[in-house]
Amino acid sequence: MFGAPCLLLAALVAAAPRAQDAAPAPDAPVLVVTQDVQLDPAVTYGGLVIGADGVSVDGRGARVVGPLQRAAEASGAPAASNAFTGVGVRAAGVDDVTLCNLRVQGFETGLLVEDGAGWTIADCDFSDNFHDPDFGWGEQGEKGGLVLHRMRDSLLDGNRANRDWNACSLVDCSGLVVRDNDFSHASNTCLKLWTVTRSHVENNDLSWGLRIAPGEVHARDSTCVLIESGSDDNVFLRNDATHGGDGFFIRVLNNWTSRRNLFVENDASWANNNGFEAWSPENTYERNRANHCSYGFWLGASDRTVLRGNEAGWNGDPAGFHNAPESFGHGGIVFVNGPSNHTLADGNWLHHNAGGGLVLRGDEATGGAAWKAWHWVIQRNRFEDNRWGVWMRHAEFIDIGPNEFRGNREGDVFDAGNVSGVVRHDGPAEGEAPVVDVRNAMFDWQQDEAAGQTSVWVEARALDLPNDQVRFRWGLGDGTYSDAPELIHAYPDPSWRRIGVTISRGGLSGLAGMNASCVGWGEDELEATRRDLPSPAKAGRAEFDAAKARGPAGWTLAGPASEASFAWNPGVAGWGYGVHARISPYSGERVALLWPATRDAALPLAGRTRLTFWIRTRNPNIPAWQDVNPIVTLHESADRWLRLTPERDLLGNPPDVHYRDEWMPLDVPLAGGTGWTAESGPGGALQTLNWLTVGLDSWGAPALDVWLDGLALR
């Protein structure tokens, strides 16, 4: 899968040099490789271009050196590493390549590989390329040691990249194995992932991802490992990520979260700021270490987090790192400044922290009204010699099982205010905690038009345990609780709700968290955004595919120098099909999704007071959205229109962090108010809707994805 190892090279033939745009010095040939090659270790090469599938390149210790570095070596004067230019080794669109035993230095990028699969990169040294330890805040693009774009099913094994800006940058990749590499001592990141999925990172030295001046506090967002923009389903095992600005940082600057990553037995100690910092949900941390940092784990906006068997000690020590203190000082595991719903803390060792061993805090600005730390299980942890064992504020629906508390100076479990729904389980800690199963695809929806209610049906059970041996505890997200295994609950209007269930036996508990999109389709839903396609099982696959391929009718894009394609895509919670618009190319200016293109819908507005719809977006640009979004405009004619503008950017700053890259319900009053302003055109009030637009504007010009569902006048 990863190509032939260099040790198995057979007859190797050197490729002939080929002139490049900038002619290299005579002693620095540039090679274009189209067959197996073994380099001459006595020759200094000026570059390498790999131009064919299936080739093997054995460097035999040869050097590929950039022009500034070559000049510096000739003169004896040091080169400015932040002035390096060019690419040392380059390949694009080739597969099944083996590259090993090569040293590349003095370039802006040591290795750049794009659009390939089946590569093996082994035992190479990409140290001393672009490096800028004195740079301030901000990014400088993908440069440094190794840069891989759109690579699949490839292996990086036993390489070195030290003293680079980014030691290794992976962009839009999948199925990579990154093992036994030394990517340490980087001035920005040791390992950077952007939309990297299903990859395995094991036994690497990723330490000293750090850019900091003497006396500086925050280390300018430098980090050992940076994970961004849909980097999902990866495994990080036994990596050294110590001595960084952060150890591991799951950053969300464009509202595109990174989920279902597993971190096992990594060491992120001695971080200037946080051993682990994450702003994404659904990640799991098992048996990691985060000691001697300002905070061990800083996990804001991280619903559905699982923490098992981790150690976090000596964090916030006044004699060590103690940056950015909070009202509780510092802490071992801290959830603040973002929701922390459906969280499990089981079997962790939290000790000698200058603050709380475990901290959970809801929204301070609103006194917990906007959100609380909600639905937790805390069990089998050891809290030793912290200021507090567990520190809670603005928290609700908390189950605390058996834990060990020793020497916590100001309390073992401390209520700092506005804490409710705490249940203590004093049974034994032995055995396995219940594993919660929620059946029947979690939800069913019914709309009661007369009562204006949406009902949600849920049922849970513990795997391998009968109901009469466990205790149930449901939270329905509106202040309602139940101890039944199965229930139907009515909400007053279509909405999105968090629902949680905890199942307990003895002293131990398990939990599950669910998101209920109570869609409540009404009579006035427009065919513009919803279609129940024929079932593949009943109509046949060919008929289903044909219906889906026809796509939604009538949609077009209004905006300068941009184009959009429209398709049916699974709608809210997978129920039916909504509209997916792919805006590419996108000019970077405000554009509008317009329906219908014929501008003749002729829908009467008499008696209609609200426009409702669900929206989901993806904008990979950093920063993402510009101005306010979305702006909805209803048209009767060119001069008779109604523009509805949100008072805040609902896409860049949604009312709940769950909506960052998930479906968000919007209820837009046609008269304005409740967060919207209404502006009418010169032609006067609307009587009829002939067309409407949903307007969007991004800071940059990446391809944009927009999903719409349930568009209705009510």
- Give the integer Cα–Cα distance in Å for 676 and 646: 4
pLDDT for 524 equals 57
Q: How confident is the model at residue 323 (pLDDT cuts 50, 70, 90)?
A: very high
Q: What is the pTM of this model?
A: 0.94
Q: Which of 1-10, 466-475, 609-618 has the lowest mean pLDDT?
A: 1-10
Positive or negative, the CA dihedral 590, 591, 593, 596 is positive
pLDDT of 12 above 80 = no
pLDDT in tens, 360-402: 999 999 999 999 999 999 999 999 999 999 999 999 999 999 9
pLDDT for 24 equals 41
Q: How confident is the model at residue 452 (pLDDT cuts 50, 70, 90)?
A: low
CATH number for the domain spanning 682: value is: 2.60.120.260
Q: How confident is the model at residue 89 (pLDDT cuts 50, 70, 90)?
A: very high
Q: How far is CA 359 from the centre of its chain?
A: 23
- 510 beta partners: 503
Residues 6+ apart with CB under 8 A from 655: 664
Question: Do 496 and 359 belong together in one domain?
Answer: no
Q: Which residue is associated with the tokens 């302003």?
A: 677
Question: Do 154 and 214 belong together in one domain?
Answer: no
DSSP E strand stretches across 22-129: 30-33, 37-38, 44-45, 47-50, 56-65, 87-92, 98-105, 109-117, 120-122
Asked whether the bond before 623 is cis by omega within 30 degrees of 0, the reply is yes
pLDDT in tens, 595-616: 999 999 999 999 999 999 999 9
In a domain, 613, yes or no: yes
Mean pLDDT of 555-559: 94
In a domain, 551, yes or no: yes
In a domain, 9, yes or no: yes
pLDDT in tens, 288-298: 999 999 999 99
Question: Do 399 and 320 belong together in one domain?
Answer: yes
pLDDT of 271 above 70 = yes
Contact 665, 496 (CB under 8 A): yes
Q: Which among 392, 424, 456 is the end of a domain?
A: 424
- Give the integer Cα–Cα distance in Å for 90 and 590: 37
pLDDT in tens, 560-604: 999 999 999 888 866 678 999 999 999 999 999 999 999 999 999
pLDDT for 710 equals 86
In a domain, 164, yes or no: yes
Q: Which of 208-222, 250-264, 545-559 has the lowest mean pLDDT?
A: 545-559
Contact 270, 289 (CB under 8 A): no
Question: Do 495 and 565 belong together in one domain?
Answer: no
Question: Given strand 404-406, what is the order of strands in its sheet?
Answer: 311-313, 349-351, 382-384, 404-406
Mean pLDDT of 512-538: 72
- Give the integer Cα–Cα distance in Å for 24 and 315: 52
- Give the integer Cα–Cα distance in Å for 375 and 399: 8
* Structural domain containing residue 21: 1-173
Q: What's the structural domain count of the chain?
A: 4
Contact 329, 318 (CB under 8 A): no
In a domain, 194, yes or no: no
pLDDT for 522 equals 57
User: For the chain, what is the mean pLDDT?
Assistant: 91
Consecutive H or E run containing 695: strand 691-696
pLDDT in tens, 14-64: 333 333 333 444 468 899 999 999 999 999 999 999 999 999 999 999 999
pLDDT of 435 above 50 = yes
Residues 6+ apart with CB under 8 A from 23: none
- What is 624-647 written as a DSSP string? -B-SSS-EEEEESSSS-EEEEEES
In a domain, 674, yes or no: yes
pLDDT for 162 equals 98
pLDDT for 445 equals 43
- Give the integer Cα–Cα distance in Å for 79 and 28: 17
Q: Which of 321-335, 460-474, 527-541 has the highest mean pLDDT?
A: 321-335
Q: Which among 465, 485, 518 is the end of a domain?
A: 518
DSSP E strand stretches across 153-294: 155-157, 166-171, 177-179, 189-194, 200-202, 223-228, 235-237, 248-251, 262-264, 274-278, 284-286
Question: Do 359 and 477 belong together in one domain?
Answer: no
- Give the integer Cα–Cα distance in Å for 210 and 428: 44
Q: Which of 28-42, 272-286, 527-541 has the lowest mean pLDDT?
A: 527-541
- Give the integer Cα–Cα distance in Å for 251 and 227: 6
Question: Do 388 and 317 belong together in one domain?
Answer: yes
CATH number for the domain spanning 511: value is: 2.60.40.10
Question: Do 402 and 453 belong together in one domain?
Answer: no
Contact 499, 475 (CB under 8 A): yes
Amino acid at the residue 317 = D
pLDDT of 100 above 90 = yes
Question: Do 258 and 224 belong together in one domain?
Answer: yes
Question: Do 126 and 229 belong together in one domain?
Answer: no
Question: Do 466 and 559 belong together in one domain?
Answer: no
- 646 beta partners: 676
Mean pLDDT of 683-711: 95
pLDDT for 429 equals 84
Contact 342, 375 (CB under 8 A): yes
Residue among 537, 247, 461, 500 nearest 375 (CA): 500
pLDDT of 11 above 50 = no
Question: Do 562 and 595 belong together in one domain?
Answer: yes
pLDDT for 439 equals 62
Mean pLDDT of 245-271: 98
In a domain, 525, yes or no: no
pLDDT for 13 equals 33
Contact 508, 379 (CB under 8 A): yes
pLDDT for 442 equals 37
pLDDT for 535 equals 67
pLDDT for 26 equals 47
Q: Which among 487, 518, 549 is the end of a domain?
A: 518
In a domain, 458, yes or no: yes
Distances (CA, A) of 147 to 136, 150, 165, 533, 554: 22, 10, 11, 43, 42
pLDDT for 544 equals 66
Question: Do 318 and 452 belong together in one domain?
Answer: no
pLDDT of 359 above 50 = yes
pLDDT for 539 equals 67
pLDDT for 541 equals 72
